[in-house]
């Protein structure tokens, strides 16, 4: 079993059940950007940063029986729920993983809604740009989401709180 797969399993162990593929993508990306050692490659996609590698790893973990994927028909779309299985938990208990404590960060991320995580991950994707340019990108690329100035400011505050939390651990 590869270390990167085990890290994803640890994220699930820390977060509990994660509802939504988009939310999962954003949670791992945000954790990566605040210095957790996730190494999946991300590209900018319609809903913000997206990793094909992460999608494949999750699929492999489901096929191995380490993750459970539940599909729920919501009428006009399918919602996916993911959780670590007993088999996955047992595997993790025997696997040495050199990683900072994830629990608090992953639980915090999991409490946020996917729309907010999409905003936060987009801010982080453009983190080398000045704040005004980031805002312009968000208002252009994410115009359908209709994010407000205040929501963007809240995203910056949230990122700062995650970074502070990591330093304190």
Q: pLDDT by residue (tens digit) across 22-64? A: 999 999 999 999 989 999 999 999 889 999 999 999 999 999 9
State if pTM tops 0.85. Answer: yes
Asked if 40 and 60 touch (Cβ cutoff 8 Å), the reply is no
Encoded tokens for 90: 């047992």
Evaluate if residue 169 carries a pLDDT over 70: no
CA angle 67, 71, 76 (to 5 degrees): 150
User: Hey, where are the domains in the chain?
Assistant: 3-168
At residue 1, the pLDDT reads: 54
């Amino acid at each position: 079993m590869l270390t990167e797969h085990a890290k994803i399993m640890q994220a699930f162990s820390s977060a509990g059940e994660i509802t939504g593929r988009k939310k999962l993508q954003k949670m791992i990306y945000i954790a990566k950007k605040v210095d957790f050692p996730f190494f999946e490659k991300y590209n900018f996609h319609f809903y913000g940063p997206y990793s094909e590698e992460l999608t494949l790893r999750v699929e492999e973990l489901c096929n191995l029986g380490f993750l459970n994927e539940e599909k729920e028909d919501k009428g006009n779309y399918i919602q996916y729920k993911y959780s670590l299985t007993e088999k996955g938990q047992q595997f993790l208990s025997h696997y040495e993983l050199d990683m900072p404590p994830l629990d608090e960060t992953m639980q915090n991320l999991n409490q946020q809604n996917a729309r907010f995580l999409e905003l936060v991950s987009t801010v982080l994707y453009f983190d080398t740009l000045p704040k005004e340019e980031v805002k312009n990108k968000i208002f252009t690329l994410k115009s359908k989401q209709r994010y407000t100035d205040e929501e963007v400011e809240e995203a910056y505050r949230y990122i700062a709180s995650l970074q502070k939390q990591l330093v304190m651990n």
